[in-house]
């Protein structure tokens, strides 16, 4: 019973249902062009969700990712304006993101502050810095060969480059999370940090690394975002931390840490992406999209709690089975 | 920062421990006042207009709405929770009551309507957090977007114009009695009432008890869920009232009123010395934090600093406040530990 | 006056998952009596206390108040009914003042229902006067020593004018003077018609204070009887349920080289100048009151906490401060005090918990070999006779004793040369307790140096080759097996000069 009713599997099933519904109701939905667009429109959220998954599994959260994306975009814009080569700009922007993540991580691990409070602060700080860097200007006209990297498909496939990159990174994160000692450590830290520390796991170092990765990925997503829209603005990606967190929680990762699978998160990301796409095709206003995302977020944390409130019966069955062989 | 020096040896250990802790908390409110004084002094030195009666009145008016929200937010944060939806509630209420007034509604019913909408939102948050035990951050982040979406949906790109609003409302927002504007007065009265309640009533102390140790509160028979629900309800009601006051102050509103203000409010509360981990702080401190943040905003304009800095400074101040709190708490814990051994 | 007991349990059972904490237990507390509840760690005493306090609701059976069945929906209900409880772990609000902690929810009022702070502080001073405590009512409870916290808890319970006072190990952290004063207050309450339920590990205290005693063993009721007819040994036999010899199967082992050397270890405000050594083949016990700094020394040695001065070496190799990873590398293992928070990751399976200390060893390339992980778990589960259904089951479904075996397995799998065990048998049943003792004895026989922290005096006396005693952060005595008696250990532990 437990196997079939696993949360991530249910999200996968829901994904298929939504896909089926979309194909039936909208003729333009299940076309290669639309799906490819929907995927690349989802690219940044998906990329950041990979790093966020590892953080949330370790019972931390990074709310500043959208601001790091904006700061990275602003840096790209202002440096391009200043005449630097795009090949130089991209590493600088990504490095800046790593630095942002480092600041988050140091405040969390060195001072022992809750990551929630820290990243609410840096959410304001980094977005503020983005405005300081670029003001309310928009910078455009990036070199076409780079723009096409962010927009075009991998030759011979309907898969855009950012999506291909996501698939590659997802494979790496999947292996790291589910098959390495590092991944094991993350689950242990998230479920019971003290016990992990007492088992000799370098909790602080690992958390610091996760924040740096999160900042780096968010900044890289900022570069992709900028090139994809061909426009660098300080308010790029405003509020997408919500979609990222909604996708991660919807994918069955427990906000309290220690639980969840990458497969679930990918299903969660796709589900949010498809829903957004469907709403867009259905010409539903962006307001409704924001309501839907918000509701999804609430439902994705509420349902497991409601299930666990009704759970004692199921738990009793599981334990009595253990008892059969367990007690002398 | 101020350093806490150890009191002389002859003081009894118990008393000196208390003085030490007192000192730290006094130091917080004191350092806020000093920071405020320095800021005002320097800015006024550069530009005398800063302290003109118009300048001061502007700061007070701008502070009052933020402080009102900060007062409600403190109640929530004191119980070790968070309400990120307040900004969107202000936006929704400002627009809906604006619509209501523009179509001929009375002022008193409009205020009640605003508070009722806020109460509804607060109730929703409170129920989800206290009875369903869903993490406060996630729930209120979710309701933030839902409420914002509803706001945009209702507004549908329209705008409420001051000319369509009853003059009585606008004079509430900008008028004054004996030279003191109404808005700060309203905030002051509410702040004092809630501050007094939290300090002097048994049920008020229970909010601190819950934030200080939820488990001990449960064992002591404190109605934990009901108090948390009430905290959200109060925060929601005050956000509703703030929405009406926003309309009264600015007259012309679009759907985006107070967009992103949740960050400002949380910063004001934390900068004002309410611990993000609950159990510590006062609504007075939170209001002082709101005053400081608003004054910084005004000072930046007067000092001709790029106003884009304001958000970055808000974030940096929040980080500074939680870091200083943490470092001081660690110091105090260490000092107390040594004293209890050797005292 | 009716003859009905002030508070009673009738055939109460309570389970947590697989753990049956109470089975068909009955207990009667009469007004004007001090009733002791005796039983070993894990016998179900704390569960019984929480049932009386309204924290747990019985799965079956009844709670009776003055002979009438009642259902306490929560702690507030029990308090309303006149039941005051002092828990084993202090439950204070660190940010609030001592006086507020005592009067939370029942503050003295003045006009308009406002709190009368002056009356509250005066009442607190008066309470402290009766208890002979020198604490400032307006001081926040953060930073109080464990003994002071416990005294605040006692003042809180007394201030309720309760008809039933339940005290779960109130003396564990108190010194001799404080215990004497507490007893005189309790005696006065009893004479006023209050019913007292008293739990203590120190049997002397039970004989001194109580008229009747109820014994529990493994969650089952064994006996309720007058204290006067009992001897010390009678009571122990009822608690243990078997001959002491089989419970403490300590064998002599050959004592070898120094494995763990601790020199002048100091952590400011916690412990000072702690020096000792443990040799291969030895079991050394570290005894003392709760809060004396024993666990803190163990944590510092293992690197979980930093130390401020001193040195630790394992097999002659100096350890850096504050690195569990380095300590593990040098051959140290720590079975911590708090199994649920520090020993195990409750959400993870048995095999993953056992694998957690060997993530490097289980690697095949970059990934973890599931087979190696499972083999390691299977190997140790068999060796320690772990009772389980599947290795992939969460450790949460195991009983306390089996959980402790998983913790031991996880550390023994690292092949340590020094094993530190902190309260190794807390909260586990008598059968498993004997197994753990046999295991420790075997490990010492294999040349492992064992440092055992325990608050259970019979365990200390039964298992240790040497006993170190701590009082207020300092080592106050080192006793050989021959010198160590209940009295000599308690004398050193309460700071009375030997």
Given this model, what pLDDT does residue C419 score? Answer: 97
Residue A151: inside a domain, yes or no? yes
Q: Classify strands B180-181 and C7-16 as parallel, antiparallel or unpaired.
A: unpaired
Q: By residue range, what is the domain housing residue A129?
A: 46-302
Distances (CA, A) of A211 to A63, A184, A222, C242: 11, 18, 16, 56
Please report, rounded to a whole number, the percentage of residues in chain B having pLDDT higher than 70.
Answer: 90
Average confidence (pLDDT) over A235-239: 89
Tokens of B25: 């908390």
Is B205 in contact with C268 (Cβ distance < 8 A)?
A: no
Q: Judged by CB atoms within 8 Å, which residues 205-234 of A form the interface with B?
A: 234
Residue B289: inside a domain, yes or no? yes
User: Is A135 in CB contact (< 8 Å) with chain B?
Assistant: yes
Which value, to the nearest 10 degrees, does the dihedral of the CA atoms of residues A127, A269, A101, B296 take?
20
Residue B86: inside a domain, yes or no? yes
Is B201 in contact with C115 (Cβ distance < 8 A)?
A: yes
Residue B144: inside a domain, yes or no? yes
Residue A155: HSE in the Cβ half-sphere, 13 Å Cα cutoff: 0
**CATH number, position B267:** 1.10.3470
Given this model, what pLDDT does residue B52 score? Answer: 85
Phi, psi of C312 (to 5 degrees): -130, 130
Of the listed ranges A301-315, B71-85, C400-414, the one predicted with least confidence: A301-315
Looking at the structure, do residues C379 and C290 belong to the same domain, yes or no? yes
Spans of chain C, pLDDT less than 70:
1-2, 18, 242-245, 496-498
Convert the pLDDT of each residue in B99-133 to its tens digit: 999 999 899 999 999 999 999 999 999 999 998 88
Given this model, what pLDDT does residue B19 score? Answer: 60
Looking at the structure, do residues C261 and C226 belong to the same domain, yes or no? no
Decide if C39 contacts C239 (C-beta within 8 A): yes
**CATH number, position C406:** 3.40.50.300
Residue B11: inside a domain, yes or no? no
Q: Judged by CB atoms within 8 Å, which residues 354-373 of C form the interface with A?
A: 355-357, 359-360, 362-363, 366-368
Given this model, what pLDDT does residue A5 score? Answer: 64
Is A319 in contact with C347 (Cβ distance < 8 A)?
A: no
Residue B205: inside a domain, yes or no? yes
Residue B21: inside a domain, yes or no? no
Tokens of C8: 């009673």
Looking at the structure, do residues C286 and C393 belong to the same domain, yes or no? yes
Decide if B114 contacts B258 (C-beta within 8 A): no
> What single string gives the DSSP state of each residue in A131-160?
HHHHTT-EEE---HHHHHHHHSBPTTSS-B
Looking at the structure, do residues C330 and C406 belong to the same domain, yes or no? yes
* Among C241, C275, C308, residue at a domain's last position: C241
Position with higher pLDDT, B228 vs A238: B228
Indicate whether B11 pLDDT > 90.
no
Convert the pLDDT of each residue in C358-408 to its tens digit: 998 888 888 999 999 999 999 999 999 998 889 999 898 887 888 999 999
Looking at the structure, do residues C306 and C376 belong to the same domain, yes or no? yes
Position with higher pLDDT, B78 vs C132: B78
Q: Which residues of A238-262 are buried (b: 16+ CB within 10 A; e: fewer)?
A: bbbbbbbbbbbbbbbbbbebbbbbb
Is C270 in contact with B337 (Cβ distance < 8 A)?
A: yes
Given this model, what pLDDT does residue C281 score? Answer: 94
Given this model, what pLDDT does residue B15 score? Answer: 52
- The stretches of B47-135 forming alpha helices (DSSP H) are 53-78, 86-102, 107-126
Residue A257: inside a domain, yes or no? yes
Interface chains of chain B (3 or more CB pairs under 8 Å) = A, C
- The stretches of chain A forming alpha helices (DSSP H) are 7-25, 32-57, 65-81, 86-111, 115-134, 144-151, 161-179, 181-191, 193-198, 203-229, 240-250, 262-281, 286-309, 312-326
Nearest CA in chain C to A328: C387
Q: What is the mean pLDDT of chain B?
A: 87
Tokens of C283: 């079991």
Residue B82: inside a domain, yes or no? yes
Distances (CA, A) of A152 to A43, A145, A224, B6, B189: 13, 10, 12, 67, 61
Domain count for chain C? 2
Phi, psi of B247 (to 5 degrees): -60, -45
Q: Which residues of A166-194 are buried (b: 16+ CB within 10 A; e: fewer)?
A: beebbeebbebbebbbbbbbbbbbbbbbb
Tokens of C227: 């204290």
Any idea what DSSP says for residue B200? H
* Among C241, C276, C307, residue at a domain's last position: C241
Indicate whether B13 pLDDT > 60.
no
Decide if C151 contacts B29 (C-beta within 8 A): no
Position with higher pLDDT, B334 vs B158: B158
Mutate to test the interface with B, among A56, A62, A67, A125 (most CBs of B within 10 A): A125
Those residues whose C-beta lies under 8 Å from the C-beta of residue A44, and which sit 6 or more positions away, are A69, A162, A221, A222, A224, A225, A237, A240
Indicate whether A203 pLDDT > 90.
yes
Q: By residue range, what is the domain housing residue C404?
A: 246-493
Looking at the structure, do residues C415 and C482 belong to the same domain, yes or no? yes
- CA A90/CA A79 separation, integer angstroms: 10
Looking at the structure, do residues C68 and C32 belong to the same domain, yes or no? yes
Mutate to test the interface with B, among A66, A100, A121, A279 (most CBs of B within 10 A): A121
Residue C116: inside a domain, yes or no? no
Looking at the structure, do residues C230 and C251 belong to the same domain, yes or no? no
Given this model, what pLDDT does residue A321 score? Answer: 38
- CA C399/CA C387 separation, integer angstroms: 9
Decide if A231 contacts A140 (C-beta within 8 A): yes
Residue B53: inside a domain, yes or no? yes
Looking at the structure, do residues C176 and C321 belong to the same domain, yes or no? no
Is B276 in contact with A117 (Cβ distance < 8 A)?
A: yes
- CA A97/CA B272 separation, integer angstroms: 30
Tokens of C98: 């001592």
Domain count for chain A? 1
Average confidence (pLDDT) over B270-276: 90
Indicate whether B227 pLDDT > 80.
yes
Looking at the structure, do residues C485 and C350 belong to the same domain, yes or no? yes
Question: Residue C165: beta bridge partners?
Answer: C84, C196
Decide if A54 contacts A257 (C-beta within 8 A): no
Per the rule left: phi > 0, alpha: psi between -120 and 50, beta: everything else, C54 is left
E strand or H helix at C245, and its extent?
helix C244-247
Pick from C373, C55, C8: which is nearest to C163 by CA?
A: C8
Convert the pLDDT of each residue in B162-186 to its tens digit: 999 999 899 888 888 877 889 999 9
Is C143 in contact with B336 (Cβ distance < 8 A)?
A: yes
- CA C498/CA C496 separation, integer angstroms: 6
Interface chains of chain A (3 or more CB pairs under 8 Å) = B, C
Indicate whether B269 pLDDT > 60.
yes
Given this model, what pLDDT does residue C497 score? Answer: 53
Question: Residue C85: beta bridge partners?
Answer: C166
Q: By residue range, what is the domain housing residue B65?
A: 27-329
Which of A81-90, A313-322, B328-337 is predicted most confidently? A81-90
Q: Which residue has the tokens 């002859």?
A: B10
Given this model, what pLDDT does residue C484 score? Answer: 92
Looking at the structure, do residues C213 and C284 belong to the same domain, yes or no? no
Domain count for chain B? 1
Mutate to test the interface with B, among A77, A107, A117 (most CBs of B within 10 A): A117
Please report, rounded to a whole number, the percentage of residues in chain B having pLDDT higher than 90.
Answer: 56
Those residues whose C-beta lies under 8 Å from the C-beta of residue C382, and which sit 6 or more positions away, are none
């Amino acid at each position: 019973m437990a196997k079939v009713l696993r949360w991530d599997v249910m999200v996968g099933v829901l994904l298929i249902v939504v896909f089926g519904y979309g194909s039936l109701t909208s003729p333009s939905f299940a076309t290669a062009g639309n799906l490819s667009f929907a995927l690349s429109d989802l690219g940044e959220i998906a990329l950041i969700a990979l790093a966020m998954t590892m953080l949330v599994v370790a019972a931390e959260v990074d709310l500043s990712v959208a601001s790091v994306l904006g700061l990275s975009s602003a840096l790209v814009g202002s440096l391009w304006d200043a005449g630097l080569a795009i090949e130089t700009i991209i590493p600088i922007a990504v490095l800046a993101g790593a630095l942002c993540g480092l600041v988050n991580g140091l405040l969390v691990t060195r001072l022992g502050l809750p990551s929630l409070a820290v990243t609410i602060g840096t959410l304001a700080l980094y977005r503020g810095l983005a405005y300081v860097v670029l003001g309310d200007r928009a910078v455009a006209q990036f070199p076409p060969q780079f723009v096409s990297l962010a927009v075009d498909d991998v030759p011979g496939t309907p898969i855009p480059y950012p999506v291909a990159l996501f698939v590659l990174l997802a494979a790496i994160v999947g292996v790291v999370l589910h098959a390495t000692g590092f991944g094991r450590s993350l689950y242990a830290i998230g479920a019971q940090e003290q016990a992990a520390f007492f088992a000799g796991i370098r909790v602080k170092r690992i958390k610091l690394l996760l924040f740096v990765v999160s900042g780096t990925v968010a900044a890289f997503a900022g570069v992709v975002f900028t090139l994809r829209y061909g426009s660098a603005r300080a308010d790029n990606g405003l509020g997408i931390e919500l979609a990222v967190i909604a996708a991660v929680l919807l994918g069955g990762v427990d906000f309290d840490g220690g639980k969840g699978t990458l497969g679930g998160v990918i299903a969660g990301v796709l589900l949010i992406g498809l829903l957004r796409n469907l709403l867009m095709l259905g010409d539903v206003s962006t307001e409704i999209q924001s309501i839907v995302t918000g509701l999804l977020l609430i439902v994705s944390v509420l349902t497991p709690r409601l299930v666990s409130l009704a759970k004692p019966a199921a738990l009793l069955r599981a334990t009595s089975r253990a008892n059969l062989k367990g007690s002398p | 920062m101020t350093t806490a020096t150890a009191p002389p040896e002859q003081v009894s250990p118990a008393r000196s421990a208390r003085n030490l802790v007192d000192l730290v908390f006094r130091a917080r409110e004191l350092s806020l006042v000093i920071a405020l004084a320095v800021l005002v002094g320097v800015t006024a030195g550069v530009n005398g207009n800063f302290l003109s009666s118009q300048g001061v009145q502007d700061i007070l008016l701008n502070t009052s709405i933020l402080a009102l929200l900060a007062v409600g937010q403190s109640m929530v944060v004191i119980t070790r929770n968070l309400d990120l939806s307040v900004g969107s509630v202000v936006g929704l209420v400002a627009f809906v009551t604006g619509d209501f007034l523009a179509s001929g509604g009375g002022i008193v019913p409009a205020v009640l309507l605003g508070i009722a909408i806020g109460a509804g939102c607060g109730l929703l948050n409170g129920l989800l957090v206290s009875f369903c035990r869903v993490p406060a951050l996630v729930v209120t982040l979710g309701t933030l977007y839902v409420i914002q979406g509803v706001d945009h949906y209702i507004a549908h790109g329209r705008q409420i114009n001051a000319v369509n609003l009853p003059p009585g409302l606008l004079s509430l927002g900008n008028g004054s009695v004996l030279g003191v504007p109404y808005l700060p007065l309203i905030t002051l009265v509410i702040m004092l009432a809630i501050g007094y309640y939290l300090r002097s009533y048994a049920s008020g102390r229970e909010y601190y008890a819950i934030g200080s140790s939820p488990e001990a509160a449960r064992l002591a028979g404190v109605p934990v869920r009901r108090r948390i629900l009430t905290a959200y309800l109060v925060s929601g009601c005050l956000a509703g009232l703030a929405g009406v006051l926003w309309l009264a102050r600015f007259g012309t509103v679009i759907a985006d009123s107070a967009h992103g203000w949740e960050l400002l409010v949380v910063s004001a509360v934390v900068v004002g010395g309410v611990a993000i981990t609950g159990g510590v702080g006062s609504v007075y401190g939170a209001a002082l934090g709101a005053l400081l943040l608003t004054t910084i905003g005004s000072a930046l304009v007067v000092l001709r600093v790029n106003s884009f800095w304001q958000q970055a400074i808000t974030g940096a101040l929040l980080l500074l406040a939680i870091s200083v709190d943490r470092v001081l708490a660690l110091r105090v814990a260490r000092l107390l530990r040594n004293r209890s051994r050797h005292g | 006056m009716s003859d009905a007991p002030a508070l009673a349990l009738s055939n109460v059972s309570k389970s947590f998952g697989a753990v049956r904490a109470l089975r068909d237990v009955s207990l009667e507390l009469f007004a004007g009596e001090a009733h002791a509840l005796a039983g070993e760690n894990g016998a179900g005493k704390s569960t019984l206390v929480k049932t009386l306090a309204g924290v747990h609701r019985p799965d079956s059976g009844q709670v009776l108040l003055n002979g009438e069945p009642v259902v306490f929906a929560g702690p507030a209900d029990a308090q309303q009914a006149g039941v005051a409880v002092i828990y084993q772990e202090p439950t204070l609000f660190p940010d609030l003042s001592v006086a507020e902690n005592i009067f939370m929810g029942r503050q003295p009022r003045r006009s308009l229902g406002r709190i009368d702070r002056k009356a509250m502080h005066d009442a607190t001073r008066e309470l402290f006067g009766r208890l002979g405590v020198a604490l400032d009512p307006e001081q926040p409870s953060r930073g109080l020593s464990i003994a002071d916290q416990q005294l605040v808890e006692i003042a809180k319970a007394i201030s309720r004018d309760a008809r039933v006072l339940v005290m779960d190990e109130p003396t564990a952290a108190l010194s001799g003077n404080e215990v004497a004063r507490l007893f005189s207050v309790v005696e006065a309450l009893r004479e006023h018609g209050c019913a007292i339920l008293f739990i203590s590990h120190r049997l002397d205290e039970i004989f001194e204070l109580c008229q009747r005693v109820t014994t529990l063993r493994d969650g089952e009721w064994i006996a309720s009887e007058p204290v006067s007819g009992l001897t010390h040994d009678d009571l122990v036999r009822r608690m243990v349920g078997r001959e002491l010899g089989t419970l403490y199967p300590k064998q002599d082992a050959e004592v070898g080289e120094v494995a763990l050397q601790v020199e002048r270890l100091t952590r400011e405000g916690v412990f000072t100048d702690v020096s000792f050594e443990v040799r291969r083949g030895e079991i050394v016990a570290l005894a003392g009151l709760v809060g004396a700094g024993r666990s803190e020394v163990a944590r510092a040695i293992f690197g979980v906490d930093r130390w401020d001065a001193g040195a630790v070496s394992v097999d002659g190799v100096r350890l850096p401060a504050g690195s569990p990873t380095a300590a593990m590398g040098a051959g140290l293992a720590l079975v911590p005090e708090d199994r649920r928070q520090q020993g195990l990751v409750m959400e993870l399976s048995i095999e993953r918990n056992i694998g957690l200390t060997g993530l490097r060893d289980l690697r095949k390339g970059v990934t973890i070999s599931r087979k190696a992980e499972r083999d390691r778990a299977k190997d140790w589960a068999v060796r320690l006779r772990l009772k389980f259904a599947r290795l992939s089951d969460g450790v949460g479904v195991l009983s306390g004793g089996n959980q402790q075996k998983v913790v031991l397995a996880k550390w023994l799998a690292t092949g340590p040369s020094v094993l530190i065990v902190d309260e190794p048998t807390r909260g586990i049943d008598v059968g498993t307790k004997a197994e753990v003792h046999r295991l420790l004895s075997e490990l010492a026989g294999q040349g492992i140096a064992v440092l055992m922290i325990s608050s259970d005096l019979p365990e200390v006396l039964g298992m240790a080759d040497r006993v170190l005693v701590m009082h207020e952060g300092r080592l106050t005595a080192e006793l050989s097996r021959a010198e160590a008696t209940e009295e000599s250990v308690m004398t050193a532990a309460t700071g009375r000069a030997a």
